[in-house]
Amino acid sequence: MMMFRTLGKFFAHRGGNVAIIFALTAIPLMIAAGGAIDYANAGRIKTQLYAAADAAALAATTPPMMLKSWTVAKAAARTMFAAQMAQITRVTYDAASLTVDGDDDPAPGSMTRKVSVTYTTKVQNSFGGFYGLPTSNIKVTASATATTARNIDFYLLLDNSPSMELPATQAGVNAMNAFGCAFACHEKNVSDNEYTTHYPGWGTIDSYSYAENNGIKLRIDNVRDAAKSLATTAQSTMASNGATYRLAAYSFNYGVTMMQNLVPTTSGNVSHIQSNIGAMTPPLMDSNNVLAANTSYTYPTSSSTYDTVTTGGALNTNDAMTDLNQALTRLNATMPAPGSGARVAGDKPQEVLMLVSDGVIDASYYSSGTCTTSLNWGYSNAYGSFYRCLQPVDTSFCTTIKNRGIRIAVLYTTYYPVPSNGFYQGTVATFASQIADNMKSCASSPDLFFEVNTGGDISSALSTLFLNAVSSASRLTQ
């Protein structure tokens, strides 16, 4: 009985209540505090592990490492992670728990490397024995993607035949029509009877001079300006992504002329490149069908060979002034075998042929069988007997180039119909539907084809084709 009285007094005493409550709550509070400490420690270690994984992923994608193989880059990532782990306490590094995955994806103008680093480990909990969790599982993953630009050699092939002397805007076309001829293709002799008798003023000034004197921009002017601007674009792009871009420029009409040999588009070379391209002019025509005297003239000597001479006097060409197939053949022989463009010893640059033309061939062939249409007829001049052929570009010439691993970018300057012209109706009109399609087929991919209409921005189009070929916007993400 006395024991119950004693217990009753104990429970009734306020100090006894505090002791009981403390005893009942002390253990859970200690478990909670220990868990919080363990959680904080695990969080700190996880942050350190993330940093180590980030460093490992980035180690495989540094600019110097992007020039090495994926095997070397993977080893560099593992080495970096191990070095970072040596700085982290309370975690023992286990190489078997580290996974480094990734690959190199070579695109036409660049190489993209994707890296993923994953590490799993266990961290000892200081108070885990109190709450039944002796360790905490931690898994971290980091990824990086980097793209490096490839070295590329660009070969410009620019149409400077008479058809490129069409005014670049509709206003220019209207102005030239009012003068007597929309094409500014007669440049030297102003006594062309075919036009003098029909159009007043033709006997005092030729159409090309008229366009120049009156500020009428021709397509050849825009092509010239676009090619000059491209040199600047190549230089600035090269400076930003570290690749090397070299540029060569050729013009073609009945023959092929090298305007600029292959040189890097460095700041020191750009003005020289632009000066050489800026000198491009169309062929000098004395009058209808007649090439001016003392002019370089290229003619076929067989179905696949040509000779180039300087004319002694005015020469009948039968207006066969645009031999794109010959130009493609000559450029194919000029361009060496391409490499992958990787910036490593022993590799060679990639190669891109950039063609600017309206896609209509009007050429002299050695035999009628060379023409892909029935639109061919014979004529003669001082250098032999030939066949004039009108046709769209023969895509097999483009295929031959592409099969060598050389990409082709095409800027197609729309060939406009001239329904009021009887010659057009009987010739070009019969294959007009194939012109754009064949030019598009010559391009290596849809993003390497661009069509520019009258009034369109040729400079912007050519720059777009260049940047699409480069595809080198470098980026690094984690």
Q: How many CB atoms lie within 10 A of CB 153?
A: 23
Q: Which residues is 476 bridged to in the sheet? A: 146
pLDDT for 235: 95
Q: How many CB atoms lie within 10 A of CB 99?
A: 12
Does any domain span residue 185? no
pLDDT for 9: 58
Cβ distance 458 to 226 under 8 Å? yes
Q: Do 222 and 116 reside in the same domain of the chain?
A: no
Does any domain span residue 443? yes
Rounded to a whole number of angstroms, the CA Rg of the chain reads 37
Tally of structural domains, the chain: 2
Does any domain span residue 191? no
DSSP 8-class letter at 446: G
Report residue 368 as tokens: 């009628």
- Cα separation, 259 vs 231, in Å, equals 13
pLDDT for 6: 56
Q: List the domain range (segments joined by +) for residue 114.
A: 2-148
pLDDT for 383: 94
Q: Do 99 and 22 reside in the same domain of the chain?
A: yes
Q: Do 271 and 316 reside in the same domain of the chain?
A: yes
Does any domain span residue 133? yes
Q: Do 157 and 107 reside in the same domain of the chain?
A: no
pLDDT for 196: 46
Q: Do 103 and 121 reside in the same domain of the chain?
A: yes
Q: Do 105 and 226 reside in the same domain of the chain?
A: no
Give 471's contacts (C-beta < 8 A, 6+ positions apart). 107, 108, 109, 110
Does any domain span residue 194? no
Note the pTM of the prediction, 2 decimals. 0.74
In the numeric block, the tokens 């090495």 are attached to 68
Q: Do 127 and 162 reside in the same domain of the chain?
A: no
Q: What is the mean pLDDT of each run of 10 residues along the chain (478 residues)?
A: 55 55 53 54 80 87 81 92 85 90 79 90 64 72 86 96 84 78 55 45 62 86 94 92 93 95 97 96 72 86 91 86 94 95 84 96 89 91 94 97 97 84 86 96 95 88 92 40
* CATH for 224: 3.40.50.410
Q: Do 45 and 128 reside in the same domain of the chain?
A: yes
- Cα separation, 355 vs 293, in Å, equals 29
- Cα separation, 15 vs 9, in Å, equals 11
Q: Do 113 and 161 reside in the same domain of the chain?
A: no
Does any domain span residue 240? yes
pLDDT for 11: 55
